[in-house]
Amino acid sequence: MTQTYFVDFGVGDVACTKPSAVKGIIEKIVVKEIKVAESTTINQISYIYKDNLNQLWNSDELITYAAAKLLAQNYLNARISALP
């Protein structure tokens, strides 16, 4: 039986990395492959994304460009306001 999963990003989509965005850097990746990781102990499904450089990303580490831009702007505004 085939199961259907709904994911945030599809193969070929461009996503941004959240860890970089919170540091003021917008880093884009291209999704090459999506793997489903099922946890049998807590009955939860998570997704692992593989990018074009074969790096693996959890679904909570990838965000849209608009969200990355907002996080980067907030970081830079905080840095500017902290200047003497």
Q: How does pLDDT run across 6-63, given as a tens digit for each residue?
A: 888 999 999 999 999 999 999 999 999 999 887 666 667 888 999 999 999 999 999 9
The whole-number pLDDT of residue 84 equals 82
What the block records as the tokens of 2 is 């085939």
Tokens of 52: 């074009």
Over residues 1-10, the mean pLDDT reads 80
Q: Burial level of 21, CB count in 10 A (0-12/13-18/19+)?
A: buried
Pairing of strands 14-17, 62-63: antiparallel
Residue 40: per-residue pLDDT: 63
Q: Are 37 and 24 in contact (CB under 8 A)?
A: no
Domain boundaries, the chain: 14-81
Closest CA to 37 of 2, 14, 15, 7: 7
Model confidence, pTM: 0.83
